[in-house]
Amino acid sequence: MTQSFISSKPIPVNERLIMALDVPSIDEAKALVEELGDSVVFYKVGMELFMCGDYFGFIEWLKARGKKVFVDLKFFDVPATVGRAIAALSQKGVDLATIHGNDAIMEAAAANKGDLKVLAVTALTSLDRGDLDDLGFQCDVRELVLSRAKRALAIGCDGIVSSGLEVSMLREELDNKLLVITPGVRPVDNREDDDQKRVVTVEDAFQNGADYIVVGRPIRDANNRKAMAETMQAQIAVQFA
């Protein structure tokens, strides 16, 4: 039997599912949140919504409804600029935020995060070995993820974003110290017509050691979105029973 690295962090089970609000307008995002009701507590708001209107007003709208918010903008700029951006974001009641970049960028973010939890991106789940070669990364994907995770932990970031395929390795090497958020999660293993190349199932993500999973398309594109969210919440609950 494969070793289980199930998370022991004191996170409410129904908050371990983060719904990605990858929709083209604030109105559609609000409608989706209302449709899902109490089946989802935690939401990721990313670049698509950032470009279409009142992004921070929408965050306030979510917080007013008791929701948790993950800002996924992958801040990557001059360290001082990233530090100021993270400091400003920490005043918005946001729970999680992503950054990208080198040690200096991570240091600036960690120094200015306040109560905001900062997550370093390791390797996007849409990238495979060929994509990393194109970008000039000659190392193995697992080596890249582990290296960035070790640096993020040493510098003072709260966690990382990592494919579920690498999480068990991270737990073996770094124990339970970092928060690990895993995107590219599917209810079942079905990879056809999927731009996420390094995906895992709900069970695999948590058994490998993820603290949270990020799910978008499987819920967003379901015929009954709330029922799909409830199904995935039930799959998660089984892992922590």
CA–CA distance, 145 with 161 (Å, rounded to integer) = 9
What is the C-alpha to C-alpha distance for residues 66 and 46, in angstroms, rounded to an integer? 19
- The catalytically annotated residue of 30, 74, 197, 226 is 74
Catalytic residue list contains 74: yes
Q: What is d(CA 13, CA 239) in angstroms, rounded to the nearest whole number?
A: 9
- 103-111 and 79-89 helices, crossing angle to 10°: 30
Nearest CA to 42 out of 216, 221, 218 is that of: 216
R_g of the chain computed on alpha carbons: 17
The Cα 104–Cα 128 span in angstroms is 26
Residue 19: count of CB within 10 angstroms of its CB: 24
Euclidean distance between CA atoms 197 and 128, whole angstroms: 6
Helix axes 225-239, 26-36, angle to 10 degrees: 60
Name the residue type at position 142.
Answer: R
Report which DSSP code applies to 12: -
Map residue 200 onto helix, strand or coil: strand
Q: What is the residue-wise DSSP string for 187-209?
A: SS---TT-S--S-EEHHHHHHTT
Active site residues: 74
